């Protein structure tokens, strides 16, 4: 056989591996049943869903890595996925097999990796049409997968829901959720509950069409119910929209929900109305900017709480609602707790939606405050921009007192750890905005700035005492992920490309590592063969380029794009 033929055959083998699948799974697959998902909190070795548990806490009971030995953390392996989108995935781990997603223009990618060695087991690319909406072209991203029995399920940039075989990556089913030509896409990691795949839609807040949450059968992909975040004409709440503005009113539901088995309710936060010019959609604009509780079986709205009516600044309130039993003045309240862009920690009764409290967690806060009785936002005068008028300076920035990055709750300390931001914006409406399908429907100009030297602040918030108890500061805004563990540790990523570990009780920094690329995805922990690992998803700086590019002191967080990577740490031997 000639050297040339041998070379060609070898190249074909490599190409086939790259386009289809890799080696067989390292361990025997164990189905992810409804019972395993329900009891995920006690399964420390695994990270079976986006927020690890239905409660949304992102807390792990693992404590092999702790305050006494965290300085011994060293990299064990690095996996590079090879795409250049905005990497926001949270790795999912089942019995030593890790699943990640990555994106770029034209592709949604899912990968299965040996969680102990970093070896690629298989990968699957799904090609995406080139004419997707403007927001997808600006910042392509995906936050991860869901597991159901023997399937891996994810959403796509062209608004499909797709199921793959967990063992091989082969397609099982795919369902069209919406028309991507209207600006719809899926960025959130789906959630599987009682055989239903629950997913919210992205795009409406910037592109115009109505947002929604939808449930699908996990075995077949068949739609079971859909709830729209904006009511149609004649439905309850439709009177809060003028004329036909509800048809292009936004209200995306682009972040993960939570679930309470006791009430059988799903909790979601809804996004801002569209366009961002509030004068074009007078009224309260229900059910945007709200906490909503949906019945899992039917999708019917059980209660809602609107945080801010007729919102004018893109302060969408989509953050997860943590399911927490809160003790106040000796009395236990079954609550949901949300820290959101508005800069407040809100506590609501999770059965009724009754407002319990709202407390600020940032200092750069000028937009207004919640009414102490109703919890509805009350704006400070003079900060609402006018059509074609001069920019207003308002705090926080539209990236929020805290943004999409998940907050975490540690039941040992009773603290919620909030990656917070102390920065503001100059914000102005532009004139003559018209709706064009598939194009951005915002109508504003915005520039971010900070008067604080340390714009990012990780804060520990005691949910029972309703106050901040410590903070750890960072120069650039914290648009990265957080993790809390039973080892009394909190891990935090930064846009500069660091991951740090601080003491969960007092915020003292104990360890740090430079990743060489901005940390942008999830931080999780899991165990294989009795050894605990910390996994950090990173790479991709499109958000930093878009939002930080004009601020010189944040320049290093707006560098050129890097491939998505997962860096896994363990204790040195």
What is the per-residue pLDDT across 133-184, written as a single tens digit (0 to 9) for each?
888 887 888 999 999 999 999 999 999 999 999 999 999 999 999 999 999 9
Q: Is residue 8 domain-resident? A: no
Q: What tokens does 247 get?
A: 């048809």
Using CA atoms of 253, 255, 260, 265 in order, give the dihedral in degrees to the nearest 10.
Answer: 10
Count of domains observed in the chain:
1
352: enclosing H helix or E strand: none
Contact 523, 481 (CB under 8 A): yes
Q: Is residue 74 domain-resident? A: no
Q: Is residue 14 domain-resident? A: no
Say whether 19 sits in a helix, a strand or coil.
helix
Residue 13 has pLDDT above 50, yes or no: no
Q: Cα separation of 192 and 199, whole Å? A: 9
Close Cβ partners of 410 (under 8 Å, ≥ 6 residues apart): 57, 59, 416, 417, 484, 490, 504
- Angle at the Cα of 379 (from 376 to 384), degrees rounded to 5? 135
Q: What tokens does 402 get?
A: 């805290």
Q: Is 70 left (phi over 0), alpha (psi -120 to 50) or beta?
A: alpha
Say whether 36 sits in a helix, a strand or coil.
helix
pLDDT in tens, 452-506: 888 999 999 999 999 999 999 998 889 889 999 999 999 999 988 899 999 999 9
Residue 24's Cβ-count burial label (10 Å; 0-12, 13-18, 19+) is exposed
Q: What's the rounded mean pLDDT across residues 226-254?
A: 96
Residue 16: its pLDDT value, please? Answer: 31
Q: Is 159 left (phi over 0), alpha (psi -120 to 50) or beta?
A: left
Q: Cα separation of 347 and 361, whole Å? A: 13
Residue 22: its pLDDT value, please? Answer: 45
Q: What is the CA radius of gyration of the chain?
A: 23
Contact 44, 61 (CB under 8 A): yes
pLDDT in tens, 254-311: 999 999 999 999 999 999 999 999 999 999 999 999 999 999 999 999 999 999 999 9
pLDDT in tens, 104-119: 778 999 999 999 999 9
150 tagged catalytic: no
Say whether 280 sits in a helix, a strand or coil.
helix
Name the active-site residue from 43, 260, 314, 316. 314
Q: What tokens does 140 get?
A: 């392509």
Asked whether the bond before 275 is cis by omega within 30 degrees of 0, the reply is yes
Q: Cα separation of 551 and 64, whole Å? A: 41
As a whole number, the mean pLDDT across the chain is 91
Say whether 185 sits in a helix, a strand or coil.
strand
Contact 126, 107 (CB under 8 A): yes
- Going by C-alpha positions, the residue among 376, 406, 250 that lies closest to residue 305 is 376
Q: What's the rounded mean pLDDT across residues 59-68?
A: 98
Q: Cα separation of 248 and 204, whole Å? A: 8
Contact 418, 400 (CB under 8 A): no
Say whether 164 sits in a helix, a strand or coil.
strand
Contact 141, 84 (CB under 8 A): no
CATH number at residue 251: 2.140.10.10
Q: What's the rounded mean pLDDT across residues 9-29?
A: 43
Q: Is residue 15 domain-resident? A: no
| Whether this model's pTM surpasses 0.85 | yes
Predicted confidence band at 375 (pLDDT cuts at 50, 70, 90)?
very high
Contact 62, 532 (CB under 8 A): yes
7: enclosing H helix or E strand: helix 3-19
Q: Is residue 81 domain-resident? A: no
Phi (first) and psi of residue 434, to 5 degrees = -130, 150
Phi (first) and psi of residue 250, to 5 degrees = 80, -130
Phi (first) and psi of residue 182, to 5 degrees = -85, 0
Close Cβ partners of 465 (under 8 Å, ≥ 6 residues apart): none
- Extended beta strands in 117-239, E state: 120-127, 146-148, 151-155, 160-165, 171-176, 191-193, 196-200, 212-217, 223-228
Domain span at residue 273 reads: 25-61+86-571
Q: Is residue 425 domain-resident? A: yes
Residue for token pair 């929209």: 241
Q: What's the rounded mean pLDDT across residues 5-29?
A: 41
Q: Is residue 73 domain-resident? A: no
Residues of the chain with pLDDT > 90: what percent?
Answer: 78
Residue 468's Cβ-count burial label (10 Å; 0-12, 13-18, 19+) is buried
Q: Is residue 219 domain-resident? A: yes
Predicted confidence band at 199 (pLDDT cuts at 50, 70, 90)?
very high
């Amino acid at each position: 056989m000639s050297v040339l033929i041998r070379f060609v055959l070898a190249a074909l083998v490599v190409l086939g591996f790259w386009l289809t699948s890799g080696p067989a799974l390292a361990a025997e697959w164990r189905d992810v049943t409804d019972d395993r998902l329900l009891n995920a909190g006690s399964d420390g070795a695994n990270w079976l869903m986006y927020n690890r548990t239905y409660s949304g806490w992102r807390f792990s009971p693992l404590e092999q890595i702790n305050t006494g030995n965290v300085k011994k953390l060293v990299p064990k392996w690095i996996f590079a996925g090879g795409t250049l989108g905005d990497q926001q995935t949270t790795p999912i781990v089942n019995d030593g097999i890790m699943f990640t997603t990555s994106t770029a223009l034209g592709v949604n990618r899912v990968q299965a990796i040996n969680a102990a060695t970093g070896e690629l087991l298989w990968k699957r690319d799904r090609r995406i049409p080139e004419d997707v909406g403007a927001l997808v072209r600006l910042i392509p991203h995906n936050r991860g997968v869901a597991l159901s029995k023997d399937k891996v399920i994810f959403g796509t940039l062209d608004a499909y829901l797709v199921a793959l075989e967990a063992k091989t990556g082969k397609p099982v089913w795919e369902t069209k959720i919406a028309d991507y030509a209207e600006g719809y896409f899926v960025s959130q990691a789906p959630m599987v509950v009682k055989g239903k795949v629950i997913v919210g839609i992205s795009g409406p807040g910037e592109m115009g069409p109505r947002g929604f949450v939808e449930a699908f059968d996990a075995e077949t992909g068949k739609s079971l119910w859909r709830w729209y975040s904006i009511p149609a004409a004649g439905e309850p709440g439709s009177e809060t929209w003028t004329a036909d503005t509800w048809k292009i009113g936004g209200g995306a539901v682009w972040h993960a929900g939570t679930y309470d088995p006791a009430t059988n309710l799903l909790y979601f936060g809804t996004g801002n109305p569209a366009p961002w010019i509030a004068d074009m959609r007078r009224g309260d604009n229900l059910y945007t900017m709200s906490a909503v509780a949906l019945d899992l079986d039917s999708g019917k709205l059980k209660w809602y709480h609107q945080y801010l009516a007729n919102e004018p600044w893109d302060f969408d309130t989509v953050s997860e609602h943590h399911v927490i039993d809160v003790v106040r003045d000796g009395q236990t309240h079954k609550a949901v707790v949300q820290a959101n862009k508005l800069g407040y920690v809100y506590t609501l009764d999770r059965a009724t939606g009754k407002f319990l409290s709202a407390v600020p967690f940032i200092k750069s806060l000028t937009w207004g405050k919640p009414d102490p009785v109703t919890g509805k936002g009350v704006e400070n005068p003079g900060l609402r921009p006018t059509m074609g008028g001069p920019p207003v300076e308002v705090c926080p920035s539209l990236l929020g007192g805290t943004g999409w990055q998940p907050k975490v709750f540690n039941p040992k300390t009773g603290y919620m750890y909030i990656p917070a931001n102390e920065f503001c914006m100059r914000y102005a409406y532009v004139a003559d905005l018209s709706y064009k399908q598939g194009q951005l429907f915002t109508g504003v100009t915005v520039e971010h700035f900070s008067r604080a030297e340390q714009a990012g602040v990780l804060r520990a918030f005691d949910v029972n005492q309703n106050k901040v108890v410590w903070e750890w500061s960072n120069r650039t805004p914290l648009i990265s992920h957080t993790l809390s563990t039973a080892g009394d540790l909190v891990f935090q990523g930064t846009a500069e490309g660091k991951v740090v570990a601080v003491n969960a009780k007092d915020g003292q920094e104990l360890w740090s590592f430079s990743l060489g690329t901005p940390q942008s995805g999830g931080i999780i922990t899991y165990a294989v063969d009795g050894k605990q690992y910390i996994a950090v998803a990173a790479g991709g700086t499109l958000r930093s380029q878009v939002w930080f590019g004009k601020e010189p002191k944040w320049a290093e967080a707006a560098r050129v794009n890097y491939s998505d990577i997962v860096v896994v740490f363990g204790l040195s031997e």
